[in-house]
Amino acid sequence: SIDSRGDAFEDLSILNMPSKGGWIFFAVVVFWYASRKRARSRTNIPFPPSPEVLSDKVCNVPLHSTEDLWIAMPCWDDLPGLRRALRSVMEQRQTGYRNVRVVVFEDHSSNMISSEEIEAYRDRMNVTFLRNPKPPNQGSAYGKAKLFDFLRENALPHEYVIVLDGDDVLPDSWTIHNIHVALQRKKPWFAWGRQNGKFSASCTKVEKDSDLSLRFIKWSFCHPRIFRAHLLNHIDDRDLQRQDGQWLQKATDAAFIYKFMELGKRHMR
């Protein structure tokens, strides 16, 4: 094991110097051991690993039973909407998570939250505020990219992230509890919601047996968007930009949802 390598080297240091034949034998043994070790490291978890492998090898350990939940909240010039979104998180009951950590990104506008109000929220919940330092505002894809940068640095790979737009709200005080129960049961890489009301018909399932690319199948996902933080290592700013380098202004969720689905090779339930 890695922890015992120091003891092994100490033991080797007290051996007599081997003969020429002994050196050859020793070199062959070391080469064989190194080859076996490299082979094991390549075959333990294939890339991209299947959802079943990730669930069994990474997430079913005691260390991960008290994980945190991250809520990424991009907001664009809508202070009343941001307040409603934050309030809906504060009202959650028995979430099932050790901590619910909210990260807000605000664009640079005249309608931004005050420093006094930020402190008031920090007293009541675990929240971090990120802010575009100066105009011009670059749109929703830019805000999500900055949130994803923060999450790569701070979230553990197996922890779940919910993207809750600043003009969305969690519908009731048991929403996160219900999400936690579903995620613990299925242990998916990522998931998306199903809407109620007049837009519910717009959320359609993927035809899993289709030979077409996921990007050409007629389907639609709804809010919220939920995924494990390690998936963020497979996207970068270019996925949220047009070919000319400008930030996407529409379909900014599809930019990363499609990428996640393609990594999973359609292991969908």
Mean pLDDT highest for which of 3-12, 110-119, 193-202?
Answer: 110-119
Q: Which of 88, 171, 157, 168 lies closest to 127, judged by CA?
A: 88
Question: Over 80: is that where the pLDDT of 46 sits?
Answer: no
What's the pTM? 0.68
DSSP, residue by residue, the chain: -GGGHHHHHHHHTTSPPP-HHHHHHHHHHHHHHHHHHHHHHHHSS-SSPPHHHHIIIIISSGGGTT--EEEEEEE-S-HHHHHHHHHHHHT----SSS-EEEEEEE-SSSSPPPHHHHHHHHHHSEEEEEE-SSSSP--HHHHHHHHHHHHHHHS-TTSEEEE--TT---SSTTHHHHHHHHHHHH--SEEEE---STTGGG-B---TT--S-GGGS--B-EEEEEEEGGGGGG--GGGGB-TTSPBP-S-HHHHHHHHHHHHHTT---
Whole-number pLDDT of residue 208: 56
pLDDT in tens, 53-111: 333 334 455 555 558 999 999 988 888 999 999 999 999 999 999 999 999 998 877 67
Whole-number pLDDT of residue 249: 83
Question: Over 70: is that where the pLDDT of 19 sits?
Answer: no
Buried b (16+ CB within 10 A) or exposed e, 223-249: bbbbbbbbbbeebeeebbbeeeeebbe
133 band by pLDDT with thresholds 50, 70 and 90: confident
Question: Cβ distance 129 to 113 under 8 Å?
Answer: yes
* In the chain, % of residues over pLDDT 70: 59
Whole-number pLDDT of residue 66: 54
Question: Over 80: is that where the pLDDT of 20 sits?
Answer: no
Question: Over 50: is that where the pLDDT of 29 sits?
Answer: no
Whole-number pLDDT of residue 171: 86
Count of residues in the chain: 269
pLDDT in tens, 155-164: 999 999 999 9
Positive/negative CA dihedral, 244, 249, 251, 254: positive
* In the chain, % of residues over pLDDT 90: 30
Higher pLDDT, 48 or 60: 60
Q: How far apart are CA 55 and CA 211, in angstroms?
A: 27
Whole-number pLDDT of residue 252: 82
pLDDT in tens, 32-41: 444 444 333 3
Domains of the chain, each with CATH number or no CATH: 2-44 (no CATH), 57-264 (3.90.550.10)
The backbone region for 266, taken as left when phi is positive above 0, alpha when psi lies in -120 to 50, beta otherwise, is: left
Whole-number pLDDT of residue 14: 27
